[in-house]
Amino acid sequence: MCNYSKKVAHHATSHPHKPPREDFKMFSRRHFLTTAATAGLAATFPGHGHADTAWPTRPVRLIVPYAAGGGTDFFARLAGTAMSATLGQQIVVENRPGAGTNIGAEAAAKAEADGYTFLLGDTSTYASNRALYQKLAYDAHKDLAPVTLTGRFALVLMVNTDKLNVGSVKELIETARKTPGAIDYASAGVGSPFHLAAELFAQDAGLKINHVPYKGAGPALQDLASGQIGMMFVDFATARGQLNLKGLKAIAVCSPKEFYGLPGVPPVAADIPGYEAWAWQGFSAPVKTAPDIIAKFREAYLKAVNDPDNRQKIIAAGIDPLQSTPQEMAQYIAEETAKWEKVIRTAGIRMD
């Protein structure tokens, strides 16, 4: 069992009304998988000895498995610019969207392990795609070396009270139990973190609710706002611009305790003990990338994310900045993989 959990600064739980503190190291769940369960992941970052101390001598490619303009892309470009100044070489963001991050992840996994390719993957890349897709061209647990967790996106349960007349999780559960299968919920797509958060909610509460997938959070929110659909889970960064619209209400957050961005909005866990869901992201590299290159890349990230101006911009975008060791990231990936694979298999979700 790692002892790092004792050092965690609980900005989102001990200080629910405040943004992340400057001394924030990384968040932790209340428990971890056994050493045996994480041993495979911990072995995913052996290197090829030591790298050239002059690294980098040319631009470094950072693959983002999403289109330009989204939260992950924003984070990559902000952090990448600051890291470029530290490393003395430009970090070039390369957008490789598609197939639930699999296109970008495959490109990173199959790249040369020479220290000039990194990936900013997320929950799907590292934790859920292995259960969602029968055939993957990469194995996140074997082909990618963890570097550091970088951020998490708080998820919010929103309802249109004109379409679904509930004002709390308790009322939602009561309504869903009275009319099983009558409530529809939107998501940004099959297998997305929003979809999985809703499935976890339904499974934990013993509910039958109907999934209506959309091609992205934008169209789903439009139909939620217009009253075409009654509820959805969505990240706070996307949701906050809609919260002033008539009929839309955030009735709960998916963090274990109150989220600083929505003071007064209770957690789902207040009615479903133990419920917790985040969308999160982190850096990785091709598996045989030298450990000292990974360490230098991580150190440049730590400097970037702990710069007060950069940190405030990240927080203002609705992202909780994170940092971890490669081993801590591997352990978190193992835990999240086990959690979401159980949800996916129970729900019978398949992408191919």
Q: Do domains 21-153+279-347 and 154-270 have the same CATH topology?
A: yes
What is the pLDDT at residue 311? Answer: 96
Question: What does the block give as tokens for 241?
Answer: 């611009």
- 266 or 38: whose pLDDT is higher? 266
User: Residue 153 and residue 75: Cα distance in Å, rounded?
Assistant: 12
Confidence grade of residue 62 (pLDDT, cut at 50, 70, 90): very high
154-270 folds as D-Maltodextrin-Binding Protein; domain 2 (3.40.190)
Rounded CA-CA distance 260/17 in Å is 4
Q: Which of the following CATH numbers is that of domain 21-153+279-347: 3.40.190.150, 3.40.50.1820, 3.30.70.141, 3.30.200.20? A: 3.40.190.150
Mean pLDDT of 8-18: 37
* pLDDT tens per residue across span 209-252: 999 999 888 899 999 999 999 999 999 988 888 888 889 999 99
| Amino acid 176: pLDDT | 97
Asked whether the beta carbons of 121 and 281 are under 8 A apart, the reply is yes
Task: Decide: 15 and 260 in contact? Cβ < 8 Å.
Answer: yes
Interstrand relation of 319-321 and 117-122 (parallel, antiparallel or unpaired): unpaired
Are 268 and 251 within 8 A, CB to CB? no
- Per-residue pLDDT at 317: 87
What confidence tier does 52 reach under pLDDT thresholds 50, 70, 90?
low
Q: Between residues 31 and 172, which one has the greater pLDDT?
A: 172
pTM of the model: 0.84
Q: Where are the domains of the chain?
A: 21-153+279-347, 154-270
Mean pLDDT of 258-278: 95
